[in-house]
Structure 1
Amino acid sequence: MTFPQRYVALGDSFTEGVGDWDPGSPNGVRGWADRVAEQLILADASWGYANLAIRGKKMRQILDEQVDAALALEPTLVTLYAGANDILRPRIDIDRLMFHYDDGIGRLRDAGADVVLFTGFDTAGSAVFGKTRGRTAVYNEWVREIADRREATIVDYWRLREFQDWRYWDVDRMHMSTAGHTLMAARVLEAMKASHAIDLPELDARPALRRMEQLRADAQWAREYVTPWVGRRLRGVSSGDALTAKYPAPVHPHRASARA
Structure 2
Amino acid sequence: MNVNESVGVDHSAEAALSHPWTRYVAMGDSFTVGIGDPEPASPGGHRGWADRVAEELSRGHHDFAYANLAVRGRLLQQIVDQQLAPCLSLRPDLVTLSAGGNDLVRPGGDPDALAAKLDSVVQILSLAGATVVLFNAPDTGSSVLGRIRSKVAIYNENLRTVAARHDAVIADMWSLRQLNDPRMWDPDRLHFSPLGHHTIAAMVLDSLNVQHTLEPLSPKPLPPRSWREARTGDLVWAREHLVPWVIRRLRHRSSGEGITAKRPLPGPVFGPGVPLGCGEGPPGGAQEPVRS
The bucket for the TM-score relative to the shorter chain is: over 0.9
| Equivalent residue number for residue 291 of structure 2 | 258
- Bigger radius of gyration, 1 or 2? 2
Are 1:38 and 1:257, in contact at CA under 8 Å, matched by a contact in 2?
no
Moved more, 42-51 or 78-87: 42-51
Give 1 or 2: higher helix fraction. 1
Match among 145, 150, 161 for residue 166 of structure 2: 150
Q: In structure 2, what is the Cα distance between the partners aligned to 1:42 and 1:199? A: 16
Q: Where do 1:51-130 residues align within 5 Å?
A: 51-126=68-143, 129-130=145-146
Q: How does 1:1-260 map to 2 (within 5 A)?
A: 5-126=22-143, 129-254=145-270, 257-258=290-291
Return structure 1 stretches of 4+ with deviation > 6 angstroms: none
Q: Which deviates the most, 216-225 or 38-47?
A: 38-47
| Distance change >3 Å, CA 54–CA 204, structure 1 → 2 | farther
Contact 1:57 1:240 in 2 (8 A): yes
State the one-letter code of the partner of 2:207: A
| Cα distance in 2 for residues equivalent to 1:123 and 1:93 | 20
CA apart distance, 1:204: 4.5
- Equivalenced residue count is 255
Deviation at 1:30, TM superposition (A): 0.4
Separation in structure 2 between the aligned mates of residue 194 and residue 79 of structure 1, nearest angstrom: 15
Q: Is the 8 A contact 2:48 2:198 kept in 1?
A: yes
CA distance in 2, matches of 1:166, 1:19: 13
Corresponding residue SS for 2:124: helix
Measure the CA separation in 2 of the matches of 1:204 and 1:18.
24
Q: Deviations over 1:154-193 (max 9, x none)?
A: 1111111111111111111111100110111111001000
Residue pair 2:145, 2:152 contacting (<8 A) in 1 also: no
TM-score (norm 1): 0.93
Across the aligned residues of Structure 1 and Structure 2, the Cα RMSD in angstroms comes to: 1.6
What stretches of structure 1 of length at least 5 have no aligned partner? none
Work out the CA distance in 1 between the residues paired with 2:183 and 2:265. 33
- Of 28-37 and 239-248, the range deviating more from structure 2: 239-248
Contact 1:10–1:62 at 8 Å: present in 2 too? yes
Which amino acid in 1 is paired with 2:37?
D
Aligned residue type for 1:166: P
Amino acid at match of 1:7: Y
Q: How far 1:129 sits from its partner (Å)? A: 3.8
Q: What is the SS of the residue equivalent to 2:249? A: helix
**Amino acid across the alignment from 1:122:** D
Q: How far apart, CA to CA, are the structure 1 residues paired with 2:266 and 2:212? A: 21
Q: Which runs of 5+ in 2 are unaligned?
A: 1-20, 272-288
Report how far residue 41 of structure 1 moved: 0.6
Match of 2:15 in 1: none
- By how many angstroms is 1:125 displaced? 4.4
Deviation of 1:131 (Å): 2.7
Which segment drifts farther, 195-204 or 12-21? 195-204
Matched AA of 2:198: T
Deviation at 1:243, TM superposition (A): 1.2
SS at match of 2:259: coil
